[in-house]
Every structure is written in structure tokens, then in C-alpha cells.
Amino acid sequence: MAVVNLLERLGHEVVFPLAQTCCGQMHYNTGYHAEALPLVKRLMDEFRDAETIVVPSASCVAMMRDHYELMAHNTNDAAMMSEVKSFLPRVFEFSELITDKLGLTDVGAYFPHRVTYHPSCHSLRLLHVGDRPIRLLQGVEGLEYAPMEGADQCCGFGGTFAVKNAEVSSAMLNDKLVCVKKSNAEFVAALDNSCLMQIDGGLHRESAGQGGEGRIRPVHLAEILNSTRANPLTNESLSWDEATV
């Protein structure tokens, strides 16, 4: 919702093709390559006429850039290959869209809080988004950016890894949480909801029985950029209870 509202505020027309579903990453990365193939094809189909495609999940973009061509190549599918070649140049990860395509670092956002940033592995090592998200955070009025120690360390999510190796995944998460808390931030931002879900799940479990008071809130970068003086993002709008009222 934040992506839609923000882009509309910036004067763009946003379309969400309801027939779209999944980029195929979960199946592909778990080894279900045959099952991922039709998902990939139908996704590209749904976006055949789109001018610019924004994906607010870095790891989905990494799936597209790193594997779509490879899948076409491995299945010897020339038609799919030409689809991929037309599809990929139109795909932008959210922070890439704002900085590269729209040329902005200040989107008129207002968020008077201390925020740390978790560079998700796929945004960092596969997309090489670099300091784009940090520049965007620093362009937000009132925002105090708090660097994170061990920022490049994985949060432990890793897709099906989180359930197949749940114990190791949560040990990795605990390391990440130590770094998140050390930053003394009120919010931890990222470009991937999957990492945020992992971090959120850990923080919530840790604070069990203590209420939500003082807990660090995970938030997608788009939600911060969508926050304005007129329509600010508040702690309440991110709380767990809100989601299930």
C-alpha cells in the first residue's frame, strides 16, 4: 500500500495486475525447478505491456535477474529467452526505481525517528544496490540514521531454510537481533519483507509478555518514504494487534 500511495503522491500512475502471483523464487531455490517455470512464464506474461515494473522485494528481483535467463537457457526455450530480454530492463527494485529511474533521494517524506537499516543479502550481494537505500533514508526529514554493526550479516531467513534448518536459522537471527538492538534505533528498515518477517518474529518472541512498549519495529523502506507530515506513519499503524483487530 505504501508503494502505491508513495508513487501516486509523486505523480505516477500505478497499476496492479491482479492476475500476478509469485516470481517463482521459493520453488526454484528449494529445488523445484520444473514447478517454478510456469510461474516465471505467467508472471512475465502479466507484465508484457507494463512500461516500468517496480518490485518492492529485492530477493524477487534477484530471482528475476539471476535465474530467468538461466531457466530459459537450461530449457532451451528461445521464446522465453526473448521474453526475458524484454522483461528484465523494465524491472526495478524499489530503491533503484526511486533513485535511478526517478532520480530522487528526497521524496518529501517526514519520519522523526531513529532508524537502522538491514541490507538484505540479495539486495546487497546480488543486486548491488549499494548505498541507495541509505541515501533515501538520509533524505527523509527528521530521520536519524543509525548504522548497524554487522550489517552485512544474514538475518537467517533464507526462504525454506528458515523451516528446514529452523534451529540454525534462529541462531543466526539472534546474532542479527543483537546488532539491531545495539543500534538503539526505534525502527529497523529493509527492502525485503521476508527479512523483516524474520526479524519481526524474533523481536516479538523476545518481548513476549512485556507488551509492545519499546520494541523495535521492522518497517519496509517504502513505508518510511510514504510517511509525511500530513499523513505520518505511526507506531500504532505497525503494531501486531492492529493487523488482527
Partner 1 sequence: MSIRVGHTADKASFPILAHTILKDDQTRRNVRHATDVIRAKRALRVEEMPDWEQLRTSGHAIKTHTLEHLPYYLEVFEKNCIAAGGQVHWARDADEANAIAIKLIRAAAAKVEPEKTKPEVIKVKTMTSDEIGMNAALEREGIIPWETDLADMIVQMGKDEPSHIVVPALHKNRHQVRELFLENMGLTELGTEAADLAAAARMYLRKKFLEVEIGVSGANFAIAETGSVCVVESEGNGRMCVTMPKTLITLIGIEKVIPKFQDLEVFLQLLPRSATGERMNPYNSIWTGTTAGDGPQEFHVILLDNGRTRMLANTRERETLNCIRCGACLNACPVYRETGGHAYGSIYSGPIGAILSPQLNGMEHSRSLPYASSLCGACYEVCPVKINIPETLIHLRGRIVEADQKTLAGKLSQENLGMKMAAHLFEHPRQYEAAQRLARTGQGLFEKDGKLVNLPGMAAGWTQFRDLRALPDQTFREWWKKRKSKTEANA
Question: Which residues bind to partner 1, rule: CB under 8 A?
Answer: 1, 4, 16, 18-22, 24, 26-36, 38-39, 42, 66, 121-122, 124-126, 152-154, 156-173, 175, 197-198, 200-202, 204-205, 208, 240-241, 243-245
Q: DSSP 3-state assignment of 54?
A: strand
**Distance between CA atoms of 105 and 127, rounded to whole angstroms?**
19
* Least separation in angstroms between CB 170 and partner 1: 4
* Least separation in angstroms between CB 145 and partner 1: 23
**Beta carbon nearer to partner 1, 9 or 114:** 9
**Beta carbon nearer to partner 1, 24 or 133:** 24
**Beta carbon nearer to partner 1, 230 or 245:** 245
Dihedrals φ, ψ of 207, to 5°?
Answer: -95, 15
Q: Quick one: which H or E segment has residue 190? A: strand 187-190
* Least separation in angstroms between CB 112 and partner 1: 26
* Least separation in angstroms between CB 94 and partner 1: 15
* Least separation in angstroms between CB 176 and partner 1: 9
Contact assessment for residue 123 and residue 81, using Cβ atoms and an 8 Å cutoff: no
What DSSP assignment string belongs to 69-94?
Answer: HHHHHHTT-HHHHHHHHHHGGGEEEH
**Burial letters 132-155, b for 16+ CB under 10 A, else e:** bbbbbbebbeebbbbebeebeebb
- Tell the burial category of 194 from Cβ atoms under 10 Å away from its Cβ (0-12, 13-18, 19+): buried
**Beta carbon nearer to partner 1, 133 or 218:** 218
Contact assessment for residue 189 and residue 116, using Cβ atoms and an 8 Å cutoff: yes
* Least separation in angstroms between CB 243 and partner 1: 4
**Beta carbon nearer to partner 1, 8 or 131:** 8
**Beta carbon nearer to partner 1, 28 or 87:** 28
